[in-house]
Structure 1
């Protein structure tokens, strides 16, 4: 069954699981409070969540709050929590926030909007917890770590998308005294990479009036992660509603720039889906859509969302969204058509929604594949197309039967 964790505006942490009732289309949600909300109000708002499945099939859950506090919890089989490690980001100032959080094995990475980057080693039986610090540019809106933790990327207000080598970013760098710079030298310096920086995007060309277009990256994610740090596919959403795709191997400017995607307040979040060529985009309003990465076209939009989407969490065949209307929704997903430009036959829809008393600010998938259902049909019944496969196999020779079985197995794995 799909299983997620959520955090809300008062600091509560919850476990949210979805399951089928009696029909293949009727879902129900079960919510368990792991950490109750704080009486101190929005100072404990959960700004980022991250989960990690250990090799022992237990779960670690990391959370960072608006007041700069952070904690990693171990979730036990009875849904009880124990604190693994707690700390506070002292460099976070009023009006600033956490823009990135990732939990990898025994290491936690956090980043704030003022560029305070921290790597925290969790306590082990033979070692004490420790932290490494680094500083990035200010006015950041989003920070993401790659799947292998070798690189990270960030962007923000007047901060172009930038790709960094993780280890080099935390290595000690002697301070460099900078002389007074002229305007021409400043422009040249803007093209120079910082120590640890692997690649930096370049602004799109001027508009039709020859005016510079402002840089304001509000959301970003990795696409098709590569083991080679300098060769990455990246996606960014901007405050003016554009979604831009970058290929660090070929250019600094976006290889695709799709305008008008975020219709209300610009793009709020972008998340890579589990289907090929699929990405989910939410604006600052209530629009949540699936896009085809081959041409930037919207393949379907989810209906019935009445509040601004605060967080999106893809999970294999499903996607969960949280919004300011106080609902956490389980949504179905379907990949783009096989050929570009073909009509989308199946469209994602809201399968189930769970009302919560406090606005959910973030939701994450637990990453546990074993909890996903392999089929949404009731036990003992076969999908209609598989029934036809069986009928064809009965009238064919053994070779045809083998092909039909192969098709069924392939479809089962794809779901």
Structure 2
């Protein structure tokens, strides 16, 4: 017989306007994400049985204090929590906690996020979040994107580089699609995301992602893009 342990309530979700788009149960808790980019990690911890002697079944588990983060680009239509190997000593055990989050939407390009970095950032709220005065060191990938070429850059180039700049915790983002025959910018139209291969763990990677990582997205207008 299944036993209800507890109920997770997303107070920030606007009923009828937003929805859950991804849910993952890891080794230490539950990870969830809504279409508004509301990311939540709720730990599942061992607890002393409070129902002893009450005649009610007990699992000895309870929900701990959650850590939350709001992704900057929304609305999202699909997301995927995945566990990727970091180096040659790390396996991609599917029962382990997820290491990365894939997300995208009809107008939001596909992004890959470092999940522990998001939950430990100053923008997060909860026990895992960093304090406001914590030092923040940009990742190698962020530094690479932010670095200029040493030449004087005009306002238009600066605006473009600012738009392309990776956010905190974001390790990869799909490039913008080419314009259509009418000269209009094509939208990502992401309807589903699939991980095809977790790749091979390596000693060093610029983005922190394993080599030979392969994934794909299905679009609302019937396309499948392979990365």
Q: Secondary structure at the match of 1:187?
A: helix
1:146 to 82, 93, 105: 82
1:372-406, Cα deviation, whole Å (9 max, x unpaired): xxxxxxxxxxxxxxxxxxxxxxxxxxxxxxxxxxx
Conserved 8 A contact 1:84-1:122: no
CA drift of 1:185 comes to 4.5
Deviation at 1:86, TM superposition (A): 1.2
1:92 maps to which of 3, 6, 13 = 13
Mapped to 2, the partners of 1:214 and 1:128 lie a distance apart of 39
| Distance across 1 between alignment mates of 2:75 and 2:188 | 11
CA distances 1:25-76 after superposition (whole Å, capped 9, x unpaired): xxxxxxxxxxxxxxxxxxxxxxxxxxxxxxxxxxxxxxxxxxxxxxxxxxxx
User: 1:157 — aligned with what?
Assistant: 106
Structure 1 unmatched ranges of 5 or more = 1-79, 176-181, 247-415
What secondary structure sits across from 1:203 in the alignment? coil
Q: Who is 1:204 aligned against?
A: 177
1:171 aligned onto 2:102: no
| Equivalent of residue 213 in structure 1, options 172, 178, 186 | 186
Aligned to 2:144: none
Offset of 1:130 from its aligned partner?
Answer: 2.2
Q: Choose between structure 1 and 2: higher strand proportion.
A: 1
CA RMSD of aligned residues (A): 2.2
1:211 CA drift (Å): 2.8
Aligned to 1:119: 41
Deviation at 1:158, TM superposition (A): 1.4
| TM-score w.r.t. length of structure 1 | 0.36
1:105 is displaced (CA, Å) by 2.5
CA 1:219/1:193 → structure 2, altered by over 3 Å: closer, same or farther? same
Considering only CA atoms, is the larger Rg found in Structure 1 or Structure 2? 1
- Evaluate the alpha carbon distance shift between residue 244 and residue 120 of structure 1 in structure 2; reply closer, same or farther with a 3 A threshold: same
Q: Which secondary structure does the structure 2 equivalent of 1:198 belong to?
A: strand
**Can you give the 5+ residue segments of structure 2 that lack an aligned partner in the other structure?**
49-61, 84-91, 93-97, 124-131, 133-154, 203-207
Look up the match of 1:195: 168
Residue 237 (structure 1) aligned with residue 218 (structure 2): yes
Q: Does 1:134 align with 2:69?
A: yes
Deviation at 1:189, TM superposition (A): 2.0
Q: Give CA-to-partner distance per residue, 1:260-310, whole Å, 9 cap, x none.
A: xxxxxxxxxxxxxxxxxxxxxxxxxxxxxxxxxxxxxxxxxxxxxxxxxxx
Tell me how far 1:144 sits from its aligned partner: 0.5
Partner Cα separation in structure 2 for residue 211 and residue 138 of structure 1: 21
Assess if the C-alpha contact under 8 Å between 1:142 and 1:156 holds in 2.
yes
Matches within 5 A, 1:271-286: none
1:224-373 alignment runs, 5 A limit: 224-226=197-199, 227=201, 229-231=208-210, 232-246=213-227
CA displacement at 1:129 relative to structure 2: 1.7
Structure 1 stretch displaced more, 201-210 or 136-145: 201-210
CA contact (8 A) 2:6 2:63 kept: no
Q: How does 1:70-85 map to 2 (within 5 A)?
A: 80-85=1-6
On the 8 A contact 2:114/2:171 being kept in 1, the answer is yes
The higher-RCO structure (CA 8 Å, 6+ apart) is 2
Residues in 1 aligned to 2:105 and 2:194: alpha-carbon distance in whole angstroms: 13
